[in-house]
Amino acid sequence: MPAKSNAAAKSSDREIVITRVFDAPREMVWKAFTEREQMAKWWGMKGMTTRVLELDPRPGGTFLYVIRMPDGREMCGKWVYREIVAPELLVVVHFSTDNTGEPIPHPYDPNLPPEMLTTTRFIENGKRTTMELRSVPINETAAQRAAFNKLADAMEEGFNNSLDLLDDYLATI
Amino acid sequence: MVQQNMTQERLDATFSALADPTRRAILARLASGETSVSELAEPFAMSLPAISKHLKVLQRAGLIERGREAQWRPCRLAAAPLKDASDWLEHYRRFWEESLDRLEEYLRELQKKEKKNARKK
């Protein structure tokens, strides 16, 4: 997959970018991302428990999971693996599903992009591992893409400050 | 389907309302409390009709409300749609960030175990 230039990424393809350095060798981090028992140990937010229904890390294969939230509600999701280069590159399409693995609209709003293409790179860094994750919406309608881009634009322009103000305000009503 | 189209229209309106810097400034101003149109117009080098136009866009998007009080019809924030949209993007990021926090913790435990095992050998 060719690296996208930053300029192009800025003008159209909005990304979520996360970089982390793990104090563990790359092989270990890779296994944690690609082995069934290990995925279940960390995938999901604090207080959630994850059951892995399926994990088949090869192109076209899937990772299907059920996450149980602290209030007992469950939600399902799926990765479909697009590209795998052990132990350095993992490209997946991520979306919400029902409990049979069928895609469902975005749980927050049907107008937001339901599928995210997530590219994760693992880079050796001495005894540590640097992980770079990029996530962009794919297979979305033009309206969904516009929604995502405008939102990302607004946030980039320092709109976050206004949102903080809004949060404060919302806390008072 | 009708329901979905309505949501779609509302969300489109929200995002096009947010695309304009003046309108974002108006929202930020309203975050500190309700106010009259003329007070709102003050910091901007704009006529009242121009400001009113922006307010109409914001109102259509459901981002602000206008009071019924006859003369000055105060503007106030109705920020729920805005919050929903920003929540979504933030939620996805937060999901990853928190998962990765747990991964970090898990890898630390794993490393400890391996060292222990190595010492036993």
* Residue numbers in B near A150 (CB within 8 A): 15-16, 18-19
Provide the pLDDT confidence category of residue A8 given band limits of 50, 70 and 90: very low
Provide the pLDDT confidence category of residue B11 given band limits of 50, 70 and 90: low
Mutate which of B99, B108, B114 to test chain A, going by most A C-beta atoms within 10 A?
B99
For a pLDDT cut of 90, what percent of chain A falls above it? 49
For the stretch B84-97, pLDDT in tens is: 555 666 778 888 99
Coil, strand or helix: which one is A155? Answer: helix
For residues B41 and B52, give the distance between their C-alpha atoms in angstroms, rounded to a whole number: 9
For the stretch A62-108, pLDDT in tens is: 999 999 988 888 889 999 999 999 999 999 999 888 888 888 876 65
The answer regarding whether domain A15-138 maps to CATH 3.30.530.20 reads: yes
Provide the pLDDT confidence category of residue A139 given band limits of 50, 70 and 90: confident
Domain range list for chain B: 1-78, 81-121
Mutate which of A45, A79, A106, A134 to test chain B, going by most B C-beta atoms within 10 A?
A45
pLDDT above 90 (res B2): no
pLDDT above 90 (res B102): yes
Return residue ranges of chain A for CATH 3.30.530.20: 15-138
Q: What integer pLDDT is reported at residue A90 of this predicted model? A: 98
Do the chains contact at A143 and B85, CB–CB below 8 Å? no
* Residue numbers in A near B91 (CB within 8 A): 108
Distance from CA of residue B90 to its chain's centroid? 10
The answer regarding whether domain B1-78 maps to CATH 1.10.10.10 reads: yes
HEC sequence for chain B: CHHHHHHHHHHHHHHHHHCCHHHHHHHHHHCCCCECHHHHHCCCCCCHHHHHHHHHHHHHCCCEEECCCCCCCCEEECCHHHHHHHHHHHHHHHHHHHHHHHHHHHHHHHHHHHHHHHHHC
pTM for the whole structure: 0.62
Provide the token pair at B86.
């920003």
Residues with Cβ within 8 Å of A57's Cβ and at least 6 positions away in sequence, in order, are A34, A63, A81, A84, A90
For residues A46 and B99, give the distance between their C-alpha atoms in angstroms, rounded to a whole number: 7
Interface TM-score (ipTM) > 0.85: no
pLDDT above 60 (res A13): no
Q: What integer pLDDT is reported at residue A153 of this predicted model? A: 61
